[in-house]
Amino acid sequence: MKKTSSKLVFYLMTGIYIITLTGSFIYNYLNGNQQAFYMGIVACLTPWLFPALMHILKIKMTDEVKILNVVFIYFASLIGSCLGGYHVAYFDKIVHFFSGILASIFAVFIFTLIKKQTHISNKQDYIIFLIFIVAVNLSIAVIWEFYEYGMLIFFNNDCINHYSTGVHDSLTDMICAFLGGLIVLGYVISYYRKDKQNWVINMVQRFYNKNIKTFSKL
């Protein structure tokens, strides 16, 4: 994706997010849905969580990463919590599936910056690389469940479905994230076996090029 077009897509998605968020506040206020209204406040904050983490880690985000962040939060936080998305069958599982894809891509980003190379030639490092991708993905999946449990405790929002399913919802959410991560893992393995570029590797390369100057000094 060209830099100019990617910026336009980012601004477009940000505009759609703001318009939808504003509409959700109006809709939930008029319908007296206090819980969804207050979740709108949460939806004002969630788009900033990942950029804040990147700022703390001194990592620069590419426009592609910014777009993925806005699109994911749009569905996971805004549509899901403010406009009843999580009441739609399998919506929650689809969101968790895609969270596994994004978390695994993030893991690839981090590992390449740690190693200061996009191609891992050492066999032992390659095995650690694959384990690292899975470990980061599942760690983020667990943190997400902590977040959902926090929503239950502090906002009485049972997005974890604790009262109706017990641990079943949490476990299936993490399984979906794991399955999503396997897609990224498959692309990574395919790249090393066939030495052929794919969309995951191309995205990682652009991210790496944007940040390697900073990390090479560490």
Q: Is residue 157 over pLDDT 80?
A: no
Model pLDDT for residues 61-91, shown as the tens digit of each residue: 999 999 999 999 999 999 998 999 988 989 9
Model pLDDT for residues 28-53, shown as the tens digit of each residue: 999 999 989 999 999 999 999 999 99
Percent of the chain with pLDDT over 70: 93
- Nearest one of 203, 190, 169 to 61, comparing CA atoms: 203
User: What pLDDT, on a 0 to 100 scale, did the predictor assign at position 86?
Assistant: 86
Confidence label for 57 from pLDDT (cuts 50, 70 and 90) = confident
User: What pLDDT, on a 0 to 100 scale, did the predictor assign at position 214?
Assistant: 76
Using CA atoms, how far apart are residues 31 and 36, in angstroms rounded to an integer?
10
90: left (phi over 0), alpha (psi -120 to 50) or beta: left
Q: Is residue 164 over pLDDT 70?
A: no
Estimate to the nearest angstrom the gap between the alpha carbon of 119 and the chain centroid: 24
Burial class for 7, CB neighbours closer than 10 Å (0-12, 13-18, 19+): middle
Q: Is residue 59 over pLDDT 70?
A: yes
User: What pLDDT, on a 0 to 100 scale, did the predictor assign at position 150?
Assistant: 80
Q: Would you state the structure tokens that stand for residue 5, as one six-digit string?
A: 């077009």
Task: For the chain, give the mean pLDDT.
Answer: 90
Confidence label for 167 from pLDDT (cuts 50, 70 and 90) = confident
Q: Would you state the structure tokens that stand for residue 212, as one six-digit string?
A: 């390697």
- Strand ranges inside the chain, DSSP E: none
Using CA atoms, how far apart are residues 52 and 209, in angstroms rounded to an integer?
21
Cβ pair 198, 190 in contact under 8 A: yes
Estimate to the nearest angstrom the gap between the alpha carbon of 135 and the chain centroid: 15
Model pLDDT for residues 170-200, shown as the tens digit of each residue: 889 999 999 999 999 999 999 999 888 899 9
Model pLDDT for residues 90-146, shown as the tens digit of each residue: 999 999 999 999 999 999 999 998 988 888 888 999 999 999 999 999 999 999 888
